[in-house]
Structure 1
C-alpha cells in the first residue's frame, strides 16, 4: 500500500492486489481493485479479463460478458489472458464463444494441461464431441493423472471391450492418495466403464468405493435435508393471487438426472423460447432480500425469512437479471433443479411464471442421483454419496412436490413424468407447450437437433433422439439396491417394476449412458449453476 500511496497511477500494483483478493475468494474487492486498474490502463486486456472473472463469480453475468468482450477487442496474445477470457464466456454459458480463446491459449502453450482441459469441456458442451475427445486425450498425455479429464473423457462415449481405459483407471485408483475428489472421479469413470461393459454389479461396487472418502468428509446428515424441505413447504402462497409484470420465465425443477435438461431442450427448441441454462439468480436475489447472516444461499433460516417478505420486488429483480439472456424470446427457461425448494416463493414473486416439475420412477431417480458425479462443491448434493441418504432425500422431495401440487395453481405448476415423455413424446410435448402458452411447433420434437450449447449432465444425451435404455435401469443391479428399496418402502412408497417394464417395451427413452462429464466445477455462483465447468488455467 505504501507504493500505491506514493503513486496511485500504478495500475499493475492495483492488479496485483486484486489477484490477492481473488485468491482469497474476495471477488467483490477484486472487482473494485480491477476497475481502478482498468481506469488507469484501459488498454490492458489482462485486467479486463480478470475483471470479467471476478464479476462472473459474483453472478453479475452481463457485466462479466462486457468485460470479457472488452478484453477480447484488445486482441491479447498471452495464453493466460486468452484462457481467462474463455473461462468467463464458458461460465456465462457461451461455450461456442469460449472455444476460440481456449484454442488460442492451447496453441500458444501446448504443454499446459489446464488449457487443454478447458478447451475440451467447451467443445463438449458445444456438441463437438470428436474435438473434445482429442483435447481430453492431449490433456491426459501431458498429465496422466488429471482425474477430471478422465471422468469427462469416459463420459463422452460408450466404453467397449475393445476400447476402454479400465486398466489405466484401476492402476490410478490403486495409487495412494488422500485426495477424496481424485478417488471420486476415477471411481466414477470406472463405474461408467463397467456399466457400459454390461457389469452393473461391478459398476455399483466402484460407485461405493469412489464415494467412500467424500461421504466420510461430508458427514452428511439427512435431518438437514428434512429441515430444508419443511422450511420450503412453509413458503406456500396464500390463496389470493395477483398478476405480475412478466410471464417470461419457465422454471424447470426436480431432482437432477430425471429429465430436466430434456424438457428444457424441448421447450427451448420452440422459435419463441430460449434456454438460460441453470441459473442461481432467483436464489441469490431472494437471499439478498432476506438479509440472513448465514453463508448459505439455501437454508431454513433464509427460506423462512424470504417467506415473510413482499416478494414483488424479488420477482422484478429476477426478470431484470434476465435482460441480457432473453433476446426476443417470449419464454425463457431456467433449468435449475434446486429451484424446487423455491416454488412457493417463485409463485409469490412471479405469479405468471410457469413451473414444470420433473418426476421419474423412484428407484430409477435415486439410482441416477447416486450415479451422478455432481460438478459442484454445494453441500446440497452431499446426499448423493450414500445410497440410503439418496432414498431419504427422494422421500422429502416427493412430499414437497405433493405439497406444491396441493397449494399452487394448476395453470402455473405442473408435473411431467419422464416415462410419459418416452411413451408419448408428441402428446407430452403438446401439453408442455400449451402449459407454457406456446403453439405447437414440430421443432420441439426434434430437440436433439437443437445446436445450442448444453452445460449439464446431459450434454451428450440430449443431442440424441429418445430411446428407452434408462427406463427400469435399477432392475439390472439386483440385490445391490436393496438398501435403497427398503428406505423407499419404509417411507410409504409402493414400487412398481411392472410399469417400468411396460414403458421400456413401449418406446425409446432418452439415453442416459453417460455420467455427468464433470469438467471441473468451481461451486461458485454462475450461469452454469450446478454444472459449472471451467477452471482457470495455470501459467
Structure 2
C-alpha cells in the first residue's frame, strides 16, 4: 500500500470514474479500496455496477448483493442489484428486489427509470408506469424517460396519455426513431390525421442509416395501410424489414436444426408419469399474431384465472436443469441434454420462478407464444398443466409476423424480417404441431382464430372445458378486462371482437405471390 494512500480520495475518484463510464478504472480502484474498507457498501456498489457494465456477471452479482446487504437504505443500490438479477434472467428475484428499492424511497430519476424497466420485465406494468411518470416529471426534457412512460401507458390502456407522451418524446428528440413506430401503431390513422409528412421528411434526411430506415419505413407502412394504400404500404414494409434484418445473419436452416432436434427428442407418445403435480399453469402457445393475446384476455377475465404475461421462466429453468452451457436459451445442445432432467424438479422450479406474480388465483396463464417449442418438456414437467395452441390461416399468420417488429434482443423472431422466411418458419411450426398431436395425444387443444371470431361462445366453451374451468360470462367481455397487456396486441385487445384482420393477406395478393407459391409447393391449401 502506498504511504500516502487516502481511501476517501480514492473512493471519490472511483465514483467519478463510474459516473464517466470508465468501468475498468472504477473497478480497479474499488478493488484497492476493499483491502482497507471491505465492509463499505459504496465500494461494493462501484465494483458491482462496473462489473455489470463489463458483463462480468458473477462479480457484478456478488458485489451488488453485498452492497445492498451493507447499505439496505440505498434504493439505488437495490435497483442496480435488481437490474443484475433481471439480466441473469432471475425475474422473480429482480421484482422482489425492486420492491425493496421502492420501499427505500428512490429519489433520483435514473433509479426510478431503472426500477420501471424491471417492473415492466416482470409484467408489473402499473408499478412501472408510476415510476416512469415520476422520472419524466423530474426530468421532463429526457426523451427516453418520456418514451418509457408512454410505453407503460400503452400497456395499461391509457392511450390518449400515451400519445401525448410519445409526442413529447419526439418534440425533445425527433430522432428517437422507435417512438415514431409506437405512435403510428397507437391508433388507426386517417387522411385527416396522420404523421406521413413528418415521416417522409425524416426518412429523406436519414442518410440511409439502418435504425431510422427500419422504424420510419415500418411506421409509414402502418399508416399507409390504415389509409388503404396497400402497394405503397407493402413497399415500405419490405424496406423497413430489410433494414432491420440485414445484419442479423439469419439462416432458416438453423431454426430447422432446432425443430428437428425437438422432434427427435420425442419419438413416441410421452408417458404421463413423474413431473410436478401443480394444476395452476395454462400455457397459451402458437405463432405470434395468431390470437394468443385474445384467448389470454378471454381466459383471464375469469375470476379463477390470472394472466402472468409472456414468461421466459420455463425455458430458463429447462436450460439450467439441462446443464447446457451454450449461449442461446434453446438450441440443439440444450434439447439433447434435457433428456437427463429430473422432471419433477423442473416443474417445481418453474412454478417457484413464477412467484410472486402467481399463486393468488387457482390458475394462471403463461402466454409466451414460442412455448410451442417446449410443449413436450412441459408435458413431462407439469403433467396437469393445460396447453392451448392458437392456429390461423397460414397466409394471414405469415403476413402478421412480417408486419410486426418483435423484440430485437430475442433470437426467436429473426425469421420475421423476410416474408418467405416467415413461410418457412410457419411450415416448421405446422410440422411440429402435427408431431405434438401424435406424441401428446389429448394434451394440446388447437383452436383456430377464425373459429373464435365466427362463434366466440362455442370457441370459449371449448377452451374453458379443456382447462377444467366453469363457464363465466365475463370471459365474453374481454375488452372490459382492465388488466395491463404488454404485447403487440396491447391496443387491439381493448376493442370488441371483430373480423377486420381475417383475410388481410388478400389486400396484398400480388405482393404475397412468392409466399403463396412456397406454401402451396409444400402442400398447404390456400383459401
**TM-score, normalization by structure 2:** 0.91
Equivalent residue in structure 2 for 1:446, among 477, 481, 491: 477
Alpha-carbon distance, 1:40 to partner: 2.3
- Unaligned stretches of 5+ residues in structure 1: 497-539
Structure 2 gaps of 5+ residues are 1-30
Instruction: Give the drift of 1:315.
Output: 1.1
1:197 aligned partner: 227
2:151 to 96, 121, 128: 121
Structure 1 Cα separation of the partners of residues 225 and 130 of structure 2? 35
For 1:88 and 1:392, the matched residues in 2 are separated by 35
- Per-residue CA deviation, residues 195-245 of structure 1 (Å, 9 max, x unaligned), is 001011111100111122333212211111111111121232644322641
Q: How far apart are the structure 2 equivalents of 1:43 and 1:239? A: 51
Return the match for 2:68 from 22, 35, 38. Answer: 38
Is the 1:184–1:214 Cα contact (8 Å) retained in structure 2? yes
* Matched length: 495
Q: Corresponding residue for 2:462?
A: 431
Aligned to 1:18: 48
Residues of 2 paired with 1:313 and 1:249: CA distance? 16
What is the CA-CA distance between 1:27 and the residue it aligns to?
A: 4.2
State the partner residue of 1:49. Answer: 79
Between 206-215 and 361-370, report the one with greater CA deviation.
206-215
Aligned equivalent of 1:389: 421
Match of 2:181 in 1: 151
| Residue 84 of structure 1: aligned partner | 114
| CA distances 1:272-298 after superposition (whole Å, capped 9, x unpaired) | 011110011111111111112310111
Instruction: Tell me which of 461, 469, 486 is aligned to 2:492.
Output: 461
- 2:105 aligns with one of 51, 55, 75: 75
Give distance in 1, aligned partners of 2:91 and 2:330. 21
Question: Residues of 1 paired with 2:247 and 2:312: CA distance?
Answer: 26
Give the Cα separation in 2 of the matches to 1:112 and 1:255.
36
Q: CA–CA distance in 1 between the matches of 2:131 and 2:206?
A: 36
Deviation, structure 1 residue 303:
1.1
* Aligned residue runs from structure 1 range 458-497, under 5 A: 458-496=489-527
- Alpha-carbon deviation of 1:168? 1.4
Instruction: Say which SS state the counterpart of residue 326 (structure 1) adopts.
Output: coil
Residue 170 of structure 1, CA deviation:
1.8
Post-superposition Cα deviations, 1:80-124, rounded to whole Å, max 9, x if no partner, equal 112122222122111111222111111111111111111111111
Quote the offset at 1:31 in angstroms.
2.7
1:299-310 to 2 correspondences below 5 Å: 299-310=331-342
User: For residues 241 and 33 of structure 1, what CA distance do their matches in structure 2 show?
Assistant: 44
- 8 Å CA contact 2:82–2:95 kept in 1: the answer is yes
Structure 1 residues 333 and 209: CA distance shift in structure 2, 3 A: same
Query: Does the aligned pair in 2 maintain the 1:133–1:156 contact within 8 Å?
Result: yes
Give CA-to-partner distance per residue, 1:244-292, whole Å, 9 cap, x none.
4111111111100000111111111110011110011111111111112
Provide the C-alpha distance between the structure 1 equivalents of 2:60 and 2:361, rounded to a whole number of angstroms.
Answer: 34
Matching residue of 1:167: 197
**1:21-75 C-alpha deviation (Å, 9 max, x unpaired):** 2223344432321121122222211101111122122232332222222221222
C-alpha separation in 2, matches of 1:146 and 1:414: 42
- Residues 83 and 101, structure 1, Cα contact 8 Å, conserved in 2: yes
Aligned counterparts, 1:94-109, within 5 A: 94-109=124-139
Checking the alignment, whether the CA contact within 8 Å between 2:116 and 2:128 is kept in structure 1 is yes
Give the CA deviation at 1:451.
0.7
Q: Aligned partners of 1:381, 1:62: CA distance in 2, in Å?
A: 25
Q: How far apart are the structure 2 equivalents of 1:11 and 1:79?
A: 21
Could you give the per-residue CA deviations for residues 466-506 of structure 1, whole angstroms, max 9, x where no partner exists?
0011000000112100011011011110111xxxxxxxxxx
- Corresponding residue for residue 506 of structure 1: none
> Structure 1 residues 239 and 334 mapped into 2: Cα distance closer, same or farther (>3 Å)?
closer
Q: Take 1:104 and 1:27, find their aligned partners in 2: how far apart are those partners?
A: 30
Structure 2 residue 417 is the aligned partner of structure 1 residue 350:
no
TM-score (norm 1): 0.89
Whole-angstrom distance in 2 between the partners of 1:480 and 1:352: 45
- Give SS of 1:356's match: strand
Decide whether aligned partners of structure 1 residues 35 and 308 sit closer, same or farther in structure 2, where only a CA change above 3 A counts.
Answer: closer
Q: Distance in 1 between matches of 2:513 and 2:464?
A: 39
Paired with 1:238 and 1:65, the residues of 2 have a C-alpha distance of: 38
- Greater Cα shift, 38-47 or 461-470: 38-47
Separation in 1, partners of 2:54, 2:198: 36
SS of 1:416's equivalent in the other structure is: strand
Identify which range, 211-220 or 423-432, moves more after superposition: 211-220
The structure showing larger relative contact order (alpha-carbon pairs under 8 Å, at least 6 residues apart) is 1
Partner of 2:311: 279
In 2, Cα distance between equivalents of 1:4 and 1:225: 47
Q: Which moved more, 1:360-369 or 1:170-179?
A: 170-179
Counterpart residue number, 1:7: 37
- Deviation (angstroms), 1:367: 0.3
Residue in structure 1 matched with residue 285 of structure 2 by the alignment = 253
**Aligned partners of 2:246, 2:106: CA distance in 1, in Å?**
45
- Summarize the Cα distance change of 1:200–1:28 in structure 2 as closer, same or farther, 3 Å threshold: farther
Q: Is the 8 A contact 1:307 1:345 kept in 2?
A: no
Q: Who is 2:391 aligned against?
A: 359
1:421 to 452, 464, 486: 452
Whole-Å Cα distance in 1 between the matches of residues 319 and 191 of structure 2?
50
SS of structure 1 residue aligned to 2:98: helix
